[in-house]
Structure 1
Amino acid sequence: MHKKNTVKAYEALLSRFCQDFGERSLDSFTSDEILEFLNKITEGTKQQTKRIRYSHLSAFFNFVRTNIDQSFQNPCDTPILRKMFKAKPITSWDIIEKDVIDEIIFKTDKPRNRLILELMARGGMRVGEVLKLTPRDVQDRKLTLRDPKSGKEREHVFIPQKVADRLKEYIRDKGIQPDLRIFPICYEAARTMVKKGGDKVGT
């Protein structure tokens, strides 16, 4: 069974495809038309997003060939389209030692930034997941992640008691309302903060 976010992505793509070409017969499409369509709907997006849209459309055409007409030619299945929408090479990340992470956190003075780093390091959370947290998501050591990247509706993580206590104290001191974000900063600002923390210890 497909994840909910994957189903939504298929629905959005095919809805747009039907909107643009609803009256056309599927066997009338050329690879140039498919390229023009994909370029239009992925303009300004990252290569990974372009690859996903191409893969979804290609999977739809493959479904038609497998289940409806075995003589059907998939217009996505051409060398130039495969090359243009190929996946980016996988980046190999260096693993940072625990003592280095501890040093980064120790040298971060601002309580907000320190908490963000601790939640990432001690709770194994992504930057985006930390930034979505609201006081309503905090139940002592248990944190609820809403719309996580896994595609599930929600997930739960557990953090050390000391971090949980600091988080509750921060929420109380700042008077943050239950449905407001605990850390109302943008993704790029958080990434920059994490990078600066690493620069302090030479990572």
Structure 2
Amino acid sequence: MKATVSLRLRPSRTEFQAFFPYSDAAVRAALLAAGLYYNAAARGYLLPATPEAVALLQTACAQLGLKAVVPAVPALATELPPPTLHQALLARYCQFIALKRYSPATLKNYRGVFQLFLAHHAPRLPLELTKQDVLDYLAGRVAAGVSETYQNLLINAIKFYYEQVEGQPRQYYEVPRPKRAHQNPKLLAQSEVKALLQGTDNRKHRAMLMLAYGLGLRLGEVLALTPADIDSRRMVLYVRGGKGKKDRDLPLPESLLLLLREQFRQFRPVTFLFEGQHPGEPYSDRSLQMVVKQAASRAGILRPITLHMLRHSYATHLLEAGTDLRVIQDLLGHSSIKTTEIYTHVAHRTRPASPLDSLGL
């Protein structure tokens, strides 16, 4: 299969985001010479959305023997009005998040809540607000019925602006935080996991679900995998840049290796192990969650199911099988053993039988 350079028009309509085999140094160098450039805030390679830039890229692709996929767009490089003060501030805010190397999910969440914060106080800028203004805003959001998790997100996003972007002292912005509710992890029985996997015929879908349960991977970790992360000689899967920017090596089951090889031969991914409709682009997180819901429905599981429940099930089933808690902590990539200890609340092995059973009723 011919390697592909795929372009996707960004919301600004002034540039494309490019997807191609990043690991090929020669290809990367040639495309950079043809006009591509790396943008930290976008976390990827961009190309000006002009006919001239596209033509140069297509010429470079033809010389390299690459297939260029350019979307049909009605107009390129539309002239936009200069950004407002609030738009420029939001762009600067997102740039700081990217430079801090926060995850794409954190960037998306922080940007969304901070944009609402800016809009609420417009035309005033954040530096014109008092501490009481911020507290009043938070109180209003709580009164509107936002969750405790969302309230904490609001606080963190606003604190990031004042402390990181503007460099103000930490004590400038202290707000009361809600006490986080302690909930037991939701999980599946082994029979339910078996039914869920057996009812999934699509190789790509089944491989992603088996990685989540068989190795306890998070959703983002599944989607970030590349073919180079599989070491079939050592039977190890490398997880790079997991939560907290931690790497870990996980034992790869033989059955899963065979399935991953089959799905690779069938779909021939360009960059990521699991790609979406466009070559070189990772599979969508929303699409993967939909795969889980559809698989659960086919298995006759009526309660809401998410991919993360497979990770919880992996940890709990290991604990029930007698695996040491410290080993599970290492496999899951937890920084603290206290995080791993939540599984002792749901694992049957760690809970005594009820004295009711001894009454012989």
TM-score of the two chains, using structure 2 as the length reference? 0.38
Rg comparison, structure with higher value: 2
Is residue 220 of structure 2 the alignment partner of residue 119 of structure 1? no
Partner of 1:100: 192
Contact 1:48 1:87 in 2 (8 A): no
Q: What CA deviation, in whole Å up to 9, does each residue of 1:107-165 have, x standing for no partner?
A: 1111111111111111111222111111122222322223212x124232222011012
Q: Report the alpha carbon displacement of residue 87 of structure 1 after superposing the two structures with TM.
A: 5.8
CA distance in 2, matches of 1:54, 1:197: 37
CA 154–35 in structure 1, closer or farther in 2 if over 3 Å, else same: farther
The correspondence of residues 84-99 of structure 1 with structure 2, limited to 5 A, is: 86=178, 89-99=181-191
**Closer, same or farther: CA 8–134 of 1 in aligned 2, 3 Å:** closer
Note closer, same or farther for the CA distance 1:98–1:183 as it changes in structure 2 (3 Å cut): farther
Shift of 1:101: 0.6
What are the within-5 Å matches in structure 2 for residues 192-203 of structure 1? 192-203=290-301
2:269, 2:275 within 8 Å by CA — same for their partners in 1? no
Distance 2:139 2:249 in 1: 36
Match of 2:249 among 132, 139, 156: 156
Contact 1:133–1:183 (Cα < 8 Å) also in 2: no
Tell me the equivalent position of 1:170. Answer: 263
Q: Which structure shows the bigger proportion of residues in helix conformation?
A: 1
| 2:133 aligned partner | 32
Q: 1:196 to 1:75 in 2, by over 3 A?
A: same
Change (3 A) 1:171 1:75: closer
Structure 2 counterpart SS, 1:147: coil
1:20 is displaced (CA, Å) by: 4.1
| Residue 202 of structure 2 is aligned to residue 110 of structure 1 | yes
Mean CA deviation greater in 182-191 or 91-100: 91-100
1:134-145 → structure 2 map (5 Å cutoff): 134-140=226-232, 141-145=235-239
Equivalent AA in structure 2 for residue 129 of structure 1 = E
> Match of 2:38?
none
Corresponding residue for residue 241 of structure 2: 147
Question: What is the TM-score with the length of structure 1 in the denominator?
Answer: 0.62
> Corresponding residue for 2:152?
51
Distance in 1, Cα, partners of 2:246 & 2:173: 35
**Cα distance in structure 2, aligned partners of 1:148 and 1:92:** 23
CA shift at 1:196, angstroms?
1.6
- How far did residue 49 of structure 1 move? 5.2
Of residues 99-108 and 29-38 in structure 1, the stretch that sits farther from structure 2 once superposed is 29-38
For 1:88 and 1:147, the matched residues in 2 are separated by: 27
Q: Distance in 1 between the 2:207 and 2:261 partners? A: 11
Structure 1 residues 202, 88: CA separation in 2 closer, same or farther (over 3 Å shift)? farther
Structure 2 stretches lacking a partner, 5+ long: 1-97, 115-124, 141-145, 164-168, 277-282, 302-361
Q: The residue matched to 2:237 in structure 1 has which SS?
A: strand
CA contact (8 A) 2:197 2:206 kept: yes
Alpha-carbon shift at residue 169 of structure 1 (Å): 2.8
- Higher RCO structure (Cα 8 Å, ≥6 apart): 1
Partner residue in 1 for 2:309: none
1:88 is displaced (CA, Å) by 6.0
